[in-house]
Amino acid sequence: MAGDLFVVVAPSGAGKTSLVNAMLEVERGMRLSVSHTTRAPREGEVEGREYHFVSREAFEKLIAAGDFLEHAEVYGNYYGTSRRWIEEELALGHDVLLEIDWQGAVQVRRLFPRMVGIFVLPPSLDELRRRLTARGKDPAESIERRMASARAEISHVLEFEYIIVNETFDVAVADLQAVVRAARLSRDRRGNRLSRLLDEFR
């Protein structure tokens, strides 16, 4: 029986990755998709854990071969999700979670219309700016670029089934976990997974 596909989208600095990692410590049955990227690894990042790091030439060959479920160029670097890996994991009955941007989510929904879309919002744009600055990873011009991108991304928030405001981290993690469990218990998904049991009650 096929697994469920969860797609989490958020502007840079909203805390998406931290929320997802905390949730996965509890929901151990879910597989996290590891994207490919052409950007250089940051300090502490490990190949195959945060990303699959590849050259631009290698990435473009994968595009040409149709190997990506979705891909996009962000801040001059490519990011993409392996189509084969996703399809294999879902076919095995595993739930899969993707961390991508809203454009990628649009591409994914065309192929998987029953995906569960989750958008993570910061409590305010001022707080988002504070978080981006506090990370100490980006120069001022990069932060301004990310803020402009955040406004554009947030304009698409109502295209997603669930919206989580990451104001208090522990509450946001609990909200994300609740979304996953609620989606698994929905009529369509529960009915597909328990069809044999339901047949006994007819």
pLDDT tens-digit map of 1-34: 678 899 999 998 899 999 999 999 988 789 999 9
Cα separation of 172 and 18, whole Å?
10
Lowest mean pLDDT among 67-71, 132-136, 150-154, 170-174: 132-136
The model carries a pTM of: 0.83
Question: What are the structural domain ranges in the chain?
Answer: 5-200
- pLDDT beyond 80 at 191: no
Q: Could you tell me the two tokens for 156?
A: 């698409």
Instruction: Convert the pLDDT of each residue in 131-153 to its tens digit.
Output: 988 887 778 888 898 899 899 99
What value does the mean pLDDT take over residues 92-119? 91
Distance CA 99, CA 34 (A): 9
Among candidate residues 162, 179, 190, 149, the one with its CA nearest the CA of residue 14: 149
- Nearest residue to 12 (alpha-carbon basis) of 170, 156, 182, 135: 135
Residue with tokens 């009915």: 191
**What's the rounded Cα separation, in Å, for the pair 171 and 164?**
10
**Sign of the alpha-carbon torsion through 38, 147, 137, 82:** negative
Residue 114 phi, psi (nearest 5)? -95, 10
Q: Which residues lie closer than 8 Å to 93 by C-beta, 6 or more apart?
A: 1, 2, 3
Structure confidence at residue 187 as a pLDDT band (50, 70, 90): low
Which CATH code for domain 5-200? 3.40.50.300
Distance of alpha carbon 168 from alpha carbon 19, whole angstroms: 11
